[in-house]
């Protein structure tokens, strides 16, 4: 029984780019008690692989977190697989705002300790005691309340390219590290309206419950995150208060929500919000690069990486043998050789590690 892909990822990526198959990108999550993780994981893989689903899925005893792409002709069949699972029968699906069908090129389903790495070990914490969900119209209205504080629950490389005007964002690399930073910053404002948003809602689902556990009284979260907000704004003809791009964790790397370009190329400094991965596989750093710099530097982040990609493939393999680059990838533009890299903790010196957007 096939339970994982065995084809080289570069071949799969090339096949995806060359394909004219119409695909639909979807994300969803659900906190629920899952008992037999391996059986659940295998069941999902068999069902979804059969209809050509690609994507990245984490399952844990606390539920499921999925970012997927399915052939559009099999969309109904995919939804039917969810309805066969009791706790996923009515799960909210977030459909991509900008979808070229090239978001994922293979299916990976992994068993994890948690569906979202949060670093929380407090056994008394009840993650089901969540904050109040707000739809786009309600969100826009509460933003106007002077008693409201807007918190971006995403990482610095996400808010660098897009945000709600007036939000405060943690200058951190991970969700887990943001929880304490935000708590320290907000400890004098526990009676305010704490409004939180993220990409699709999963981070706010956990964070809102955590802050209620910590004594915050009025905690709100954006229903379905930025993705659902963008759809609701368009469908209901509301004012779009989100500026720039929404960073997404797939091959697309971003969806345009607002028309503003609020970031800059990390190499030359011109307005730009296009994330790319360094073409040197041993580096693979994610950073912002404009078209001119992409041409000049051949898609790399540094002169060193540019020289490496010109070496024979076997030599490149030797240089990267035994190296783990995952942590460097998620530094997301903090590398010292990037002249215009993001630095966001200097605007509010009284709030260490925070920046107001």
Which residues are annotated as catalytic?
Answer: 198
Cβ proximity of 211 and 131 under 8 Å: yes
Triad 273, 299, 266: Cα angle to 5°:
40
How far apart are the C-alpha atoms of 57 and 3, rounded to whole Å? 13
Nearest of 287, 9, 75 to residue 161 by alpha carbon: 287
- What is the per-residue DSSP string for 44-79? HHHHHHHTT-EEEEEEETTEEEEEEEEEGGGHHHHH
Could you tell me the two tokens for 125? 């914490």
Triad 331, 334, 338: Cα angle to 5°:
135
How far apart are the C-alpha atoms of 252 and 103, rounded to whole Å? 6
Cα 335 to its chain centre, rounded Å, is: 21
Nearest of 329, 308, 306 to residue 317 by alpha carbon: 308
How far apart are the C-alpha atoms of 317 and 106, rounded to whole Å? 23
Q: Which helix (H) or strand (E) holds 222?
A: strand 218-222
The bridge status of strand 193-197 relative to strand 148-152 is parallel
How far apart are the C-alpha atoms of 305 and 1, rounded to whole Å? 41
The residue count for the chain:
357
Cβ proximity of 309 and 280 under 8 Å: yes
């Amino acid at each position: 029984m096939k339970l994982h892909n065995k084809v080289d990822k570069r071949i799969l990526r090339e096949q995806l780019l060359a394909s004219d198959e119409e695909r639909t990108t979807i994300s969803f999550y659900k906190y629920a008690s899952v008992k037999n993780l391996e059986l659940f994981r295998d069941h999902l893989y068999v069902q979804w692989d059969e209809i050509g689903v690609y994507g990245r899925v984490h399952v844990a005893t606390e539920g499921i977190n999925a970012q997927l792409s399915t052939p559009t002709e099999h969309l109904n069949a995919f939804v039917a697989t969810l309805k066969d699972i009791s706790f996923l029968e009515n799960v909210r699906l977030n459909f991509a705002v900008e979808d070229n069908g090239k978001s994922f090129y293979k299916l990976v389903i992994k068993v994890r300790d948690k569906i979202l790495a949060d670093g929380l070990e407090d056994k008394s914490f009840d993650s089901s005691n969540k904050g109040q969900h707000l739809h786009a119209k309600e969100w826009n209205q509460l933003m106007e309340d002077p008693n409201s504080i807007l918190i971006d629950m995403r990482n610095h490389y996400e808010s660098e390219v897009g945000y709600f005007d007036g939000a405060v964002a943690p200058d951190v690399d991970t969700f887990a590290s943001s929880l304490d930073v935000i708590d320290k910053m907000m400890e004098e404002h526990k009676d305010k309206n704490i409004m939180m948003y993220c990409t699709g809602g999963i981070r706010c689902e956990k964070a809102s419950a955590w802050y209620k556990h910590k004594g915050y009284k009025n905690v709100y979260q954006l229903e379905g995150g930025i993705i659902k907000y963008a759809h609701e704004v368009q469908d209901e003809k509301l004012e779009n208060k989100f500026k720039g791009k929404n960073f997404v964790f797939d091959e697309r790397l971003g969806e345009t929500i607002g028309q503003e370009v609020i970031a800059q190329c990390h190499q030359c400094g011109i307005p730009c919000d296009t994330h790319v991965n360094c073409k040197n596989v041993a580096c693979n750093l994610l950073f912002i690069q404009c078209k001119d710099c992409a041409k000049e530097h051949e898609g790399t982040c540094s002169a060193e990486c540019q020289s490496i990609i010109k070496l024979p493939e076997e030599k490149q393999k030797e240089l990267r043998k035994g190296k783990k680059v995952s942590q460097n990838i998620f530094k997301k533009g903090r590398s010292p050789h990037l002249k215009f890299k993001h630095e966001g903790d200097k605007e509010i010196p009284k709030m260490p590690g925070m920046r107001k957007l």
